[in-house]
Amino acid sequence: MECDQMFLMNVEESFPDSIPPMVSTGMGRTTCAYFLPDNKHFVYGSTHLADAECPEAPLRKNGNYVWPVYDSFDIFVADLEGNITAQLTDLPGYDAEATVSPKGDKIVFTSTRSGDLELYTMNLDGSDVQQITNELGYDGGAFFSPDGAKLIFRASRPKTPEAIKKYKDLLAEGLVEPTEMELFICNADGSELKQLTFLGNANWSPFFHPSGKKILFSSNYEAEKGFPFNLYFIDIDGKNLERVTHGETFDAFPVFSNDGKYLAFSSNRNNGGTRDTNLFIAEWQE
């Protein structure tokens, strides 16, 4: 299997010698799955309508690390057997990175429909699309607070003429350079937008603690050569930064269970020196 696909497993299951069941189409590339409130469906981004083949994934441009932003991504709803039950976006351009409010009323996602990578919200059926951000730069990876009132997300904010030109030129090629990003927080309608971190390097994959008062995120701000990435805790007012993991590789994508007892995250630890990223579950202790 060349491209990322979606798989389903129970928390207590492990698959040391087999692969868990696939719940995406097996075609194209998929990204960013998130359960809907009924726990019987999930949303995810996929390129399969544009091409059943796996799109190329450039990782370098002019010697720098880049992410592809495929204009063939759209957002779909599927049941837990993998049957697609709805297509939520169908405009030209990138639509992906969808997550769902714990209130069960809204989805937040990233789209290029304005010509830039901005955040939008919509109802669970794809209606009532509202633009949330409107500043030049990559706004993505957004999650709602536990009460659905706020959004936390990562963003790049190119300021100099050179940085702006570089960002726009890359985006025109369907690429972004995710090496300088900070965390931003705002109300769910986009009001009261504030920059939360000022650390430098890449600060991303933020997720609210179930208390709604802290953010867990991944950062390489202490790394001299881009690695390692570790997990950090910070208050929603930007105070009390605390390092949580102390690995030498890559820890990212932290997500708390709803009751706050468990933390799921991705890591390159224990991979025998390969590039494999695996999923880990840890008991969370305050």
- DSSP output for 238-261: S---EE----SSBEEEEEE-TTSS
106-124 residues labelled b (16+ CB within 10 A) or e (exposed): bbbbbbbeeebbbbbbbeb
Digit-coded pLDDT (tens) for 200-234: 999 999 999 999 999 999 999 888 776 788 999 99
Q: Is the pLDDT of residue 1 over 80?
A: no
Percent of the chain with pLDDT over 90: 73
Q: From CA 138, how far away is CA 118, in angstroms rounded?
A: 7
DSSP letter (8 states) at residue 173: T
**How much is the pLDDT for 227?**
77
Average pLDDT over residues 77-95: 96
Q: Are 253 and 231 in contact (CB under 8 A)?
A: no
Digit-coded pLDDT (tens) for 42-52: 999 999 999 99
Taken in order of first residue, the domains within the chain and their CATH numbers are: 1-195 (2.40.128), 220-286 (no CATH)
- Share the mean pLDDT of the chain: 92
Q: From CA 234, how far away is CA 216, in angstroms rounded?
A: 7
Greater pLDDT, 179 or 35: 35
Q: Is the pLDDT of residue 15 over 80?
A: no
